[in-house]
Amino acid sequence: MPARAARRRWSRAAWRRLALVLLWLGHGAWVLLGPDAGRTWTRTADTLALPAQGAARQWEGWRSRRRDDSRSLQDLQAENARLAGDLAALRLRDAQEAPRLAEAEEALRVLGLRKLIPLELSAARVLYSTRPAAFGGLILDQGRDHGLVEDQGVLAPEGIVGRIWSVGPTQAKVLPVDAPNASVAVMLIRSRATGVLQGLGASRAHIRYVSNQEVVQPGEAVLTSGLDRVFPRGLLVGHVVRVERGELELELTVQLAAPLDRVSTVLLLPSQPPLEVQQPFVQPEQPKPASRKKGTP
């Protein structure tokens, strides 16, 4: 026991060295901790905890991703089926609404044309078209029951369509402008030369009785002249696409403006309309003022 006690007892030099170490470490700790020891320790603990916090974030992110990835395939298939059903329903509704939309757009255009022409116009629907057949035409949904008579002019927003050829009790047949037996009194918009339009089929026609002294260029608009008392003056018929000079007259080919194959709603002009209406269907092109060259007197 005394030997063990002697081993445990430190020498005075060891105690002094211990005191020195404690003094030095104590002062160092006191200095390093600074005036706000709590904040220092908190900051130190935060710094030491940064790796653990980062690892915890990584771990939580991995678990979340795995949870998201492990959703059952059946749920996904059910969701896909539901979305496919919704898409099909929307497409069906869109297809059902498309004719109504087209008809509404056509009605709006017809209404605009009706406001543009200061005549008492009535609207009619095209039931079907027999144009591909010989002497075919357009069948309207109105007849004598709505007061329709023969030789009434028929219009579309794009241009003239034809005239009423025959009238039944509830239906009427329209002779389109491009029919071989159809003729319309027309005039050219620049030269004001008049002629007679005769159909060639396939939305084309040619103009007769225009003198070869007239100057006509492709692209020139062709309007009704009103001389046939079916259409008033100034309604658009089409545009010249080919000009050839004959012996006595010009051979003019016209592309008709109205889409005769697609027209679904038309306007009916009154019988024997006035020759001139106040607002023409197409504003004639204003001639450009002659410009003088510089230096010329």
Question: Where do contacts with another protein occur on this chain (CB under 8 A)?
Answer: 16, 19-20, 23-24, 27-28, 30-32, 34-35
Tokens 């509830």 sit at which residue? 170
Q: How far apart, in Å, are the Cα atoms of 214 and each of 227, 243, 283, 290? A: 20, 11, 21, 20
Q: Which is nearer to another protein, 6 or 32 (CB)?
A: 32
Integer Cα distance of 135 and 181 in angstroms: 8
Q: Which is nearer to another protein, 34 or 132 (CB)?
A: 34
Q: Which is nearer to another protein, 27 or 192 (CB)?
A: 27
Q: Which is nearer to another protein, 34 or 51 (CB)?
A: 34
> What Rg value do the Cα atoms of the chain yield, rounded?
47
Q: Which is nearer to another protein, 23 or 104 (CB)?
A: 23
Q: How far apart, in Å, are the Cα atoms of 277 and each of 274, 280, 281? A: 7, 6, 9
Integer Cα distance of 268 and 257 in angstroms: 17
**Shortest distance in whole angstroms from residue 22 CB to another protein:** 11
Mark out the alpha helices in the chain (DSSP H runs). 2-8, 12-33, 37-69, 73-116
**Shortest distance in whole angstroms from residue 27 CB to another protein:** 4
**Shortest distance in whole angstroms from residue 53 CB to another protein:** 28
**Shortest distance in whole angstroms from residue 7 CB to another protein:** 24
Integer Cα distance of 96 and 166 in angstroms: 34
**Shortest distance in whole angstroms from residue 38 CB to another protein:** 14
Integer Cα distance of 13 and 26 in angstroms: 19
SS3 state at 278:
coil
**Shortest distance in whole angstroms from residue 24 CB to another protein:** 6
Q: Which is nearer to another protein, 33 or 243 (CB)?
A: 33
Integer Cα distance of 178 and 132 in angstroms: 11
Integer Cα distance of 147 and 269 in angstroms: 12
Which tokens is 243 given? 């000009």
**Shortest distance in whole angstroms from residue 1 CB to another protein:** 31
Report angle CA 107, 118, 146 to the nearest 5 degrees.
60
Q: Which is nearer to another protein, 17 or 115 (CB)?
A: 17
**Shortest distance in whole angstroms from residue 11 CB to another protein:** 13
Q: Which is nearer to another protein, 35 or 246 (CB)?
A: 35
Sequence-distant (≥ 6) Cβ neighbours of residue 147 within 8 angstroms? none
